[in-house]
Amino acid sequence: MTASALKVLKQRLAEAKSIVAFTGAGISTECGVPDFRTPGSPWLENAPIDFARFMADPAMQNEAWRRKFAMDALYAHAKPGPSHKILARLLRDNILHAIITQNIDGLHQASGVPPEKLAQLHGNGTYAACLSCQKHFDLGPLREAFVAYGRVPPCSCGGLLKSATISFGQPMPVATMQQALRWSQACDVFIAIGSSLRVHPAAQLPKLAKQAGACLVILNREATPLDAMADFIWRDEIGTALKFLWPDTPIHPQISSLATVTGES
């Protein structure tokens, strides 16, 4: 983006009444969380198992947990980076209205974003949930049981436990999608950050925001399928770009543990 376009963008953001941020893997790769799309990604060896196979076969449930714990060992130590902290601070200062994320790493909450300001379209991999009664479970005891017995026990209600993420083929969380849609269609600036904008239905949201009248800003290292409809396209490192856009944002020091089980449902 040219220097003059950047100046116009900063001005547009300064004048905005309601900014919604939509985040994808690019904001978390800066924190060491592997991306599905990077060549050699450990996701290729530990690909999530689709929902139908998980439900149909106990052996697949065990394999899903094996892959889940293998991936957690690689990145569960990840902490929110400067970009997460800048967005959290912008929310606290009411400069940002809400965050919609495709990420399952829990780093937005860990940076202090309250649940009512966050729509996690693909769930959250930092805890497990019962597929029948929706009760939440900390992963630590489940990992211990898996190591000891090769399987994760069922919920006390008899339901299957699963990482609280939305697997391929699993229905999207209706209330979360509706909230994300409302935010997208009510904002005047929608800024997509670090998303390839190729995973649907999440990638519909920037389009719907634009159609509802928002200014669409796409900040990503690579081109996206929605670039043609964007008002501003900025191909750069996320951290560099956010620091440029909001240079005076002090980063809040309060960081909660990634292992915290959140109270959301």
Smallest separation, CB 52 to Zn ion (Å): 21
Question: Phi-psi region for residue 103, left (φ > 0), alpha (ψ -120 to 50) or beta?
Answer: beta
| 136 noted as active-site residue | no
Question: Phi-psi region for residue 54, left (φ > 0), alpha (ψ -120 to 50) or beta?
Answer: alpha
82 near Zn ion, rule: CB under 5 A: no
For residues 17 and 27, what is the distance between their CA atoms, to the nearest angstrom? 24
Nearer to Zn ion, 44 or 157 (CB): 157
Q: Are 102 and 199 in contact (CB under 8 A)?
A: yes
- 176 CA to centre of own chain: 12
173: which 2 tokens? Answer: 């969380």
Specify which residues 136 forms β-bridges with: 129
Smallest separation, CB 130 to Zn ion (Å): 3
Nearer to Zn ion, 25 or 128 (CB): 128
Q: Which of 157, 142, 133 is nearest to 65 (CA)?
A: 142
79: which 2 tokens? Answer: 């902490």
95 near Zn ion, rule: CB under 5 A: no
Nearer to Zn ion, 161 or 205 (CB): 161
Residue in 38, 132, 178, 256 binding Zn ion, rule: CB under 5 A: 132
Of the listed pieces 68-76, 135-143, 174-182, 211-219, which binds Zn ion according to CB under 5 A? Answer: 135-143
Of the listed pieces 18-26, 126-134, 178-186, 242-250, which binds Zn ion according to CB under 5 A? Answer: 126-134
Of the listed pieces 13-21, 51-59, 127-135, 229-237, which binds Zn ion according to CB under 5 A? Answer: 127-135
What Cα–Cα distance (Å) separates residue 196 from each residue in 22, 50, 64, 97, 110?
Answer: 11, 21, 25, 22, 23
Helix (H, G, I), strand (E, B) or coil at 39: coil
| Residue 209: count of CB within 10 angstroms of its CB | 26
159 near Zn ion, rule: CB under 5 A: yes
218: which 2 tokens? Answer: 């796409």
Residues 38-77 close enough to bind Zn ion by CB under 5 A: none
130 near Zn ion, rule: CB under 5 A: yes
157 near Zn ion, rule: CB under 5 A: yes
Please tell me which residue in 84, 97, 108, 122 is annotated as part of the active site. 122
160 near Zn ion, rule: CB under 5 A: no
Please work out the total of residues on this chain that contact Zn ion, with binding judged by CB under 5 A: 7
Nearer to Zn ion, 42 or 159 (CB): 159
Instruction: Quote the longest CA-to-CA distance of the chain.
Output: 61
* List of residues contacting Zn ion (CB under 5 A): 130, 132-133, 135, 155, 157, 159
